[in-house]
Amino acid sequence: MVASGFTVLKLALRSGPDSDEFRTVETISRAIAPKAQVAVDALGAFTLGEAQRVGAELDRLGNIAWFEDALLPDDLPKYPLLARSVDTAICAGEMLSTRYQFRDLLVQRGADLVNPDLCRAGGLTECRRIAWIADAFGALWAP
């Protein structure tokens, strides 16, 4: 994929640093550096403490584009704590539905990137508004 021009490869990571899944992320990250990065999607798998430990290991790898949906779906208020504790960019928002929820996440500095689900977040028009809000906060937008 990197030879074809891709610069970011996204992998699932739902288990901690001692797992085979983490070793796969690490191996691929090393293999594609410096031409490409790995984006890690946790699919809402971790508590805050677990996500902080995984985030510290992702920081150590240094070739991680972002750490996506790291926290359990009901732990949205903890994203600012996670974002402050790791250097890897935090991506969140698939579970959010309105521009106001994204605004609140960004006001609290809970994410470096937002990734609205177009169907859940009100379609193209609402996602366009979310993109404007992200831009105002200097955050990236990856629907």
- Return the CA Rg of the chain: 15
Other C-beta atoms lying within 10 Å of the C-beta of residue 118: 12
The edge-to-edge listing of strands for the beta sheet with 64-68 is 8-12, 37-41, 64-68, 90-92, 113-114, 140-141
Number of other residues whose CB lies within 10 A of the CB of residue 97 = 14
pLDDT tens profile 4-60 = 999 999 999 999 999 999 999 999 999 999 999 999 999 999 999 999 999 999 999
Q: What are phi and psi of 54, to 5 degrees?
A: -65, -45
Looking up tokens 């996670």 gives: 82
Q: Is the dihedral of CA 106, 15, 143, 72 positive or negative?
A: negative
pLDDT for the residue numbered 56:
98
Q: Which amino acid is at 66?
A: W
**Could you tell me the end-to-end alpha-carbon distance of the chain, in angstroms, rounded to an integer?**
21
Q: Per residue in 80-125, pLDDT tens?
A: 999 999 999 999 999 999 999 999 999 999 999 999 999 999 999 9
User: What mean pLDDT is predicted for residues 64-78?
Assistant: 95
Question: Does residue 143 register a pLDDT over 90?
Answer: no
Count of beta carbons in the 10 Å neighbourhood of residue 65: 21
Mean pLDDT of 135-143: 94
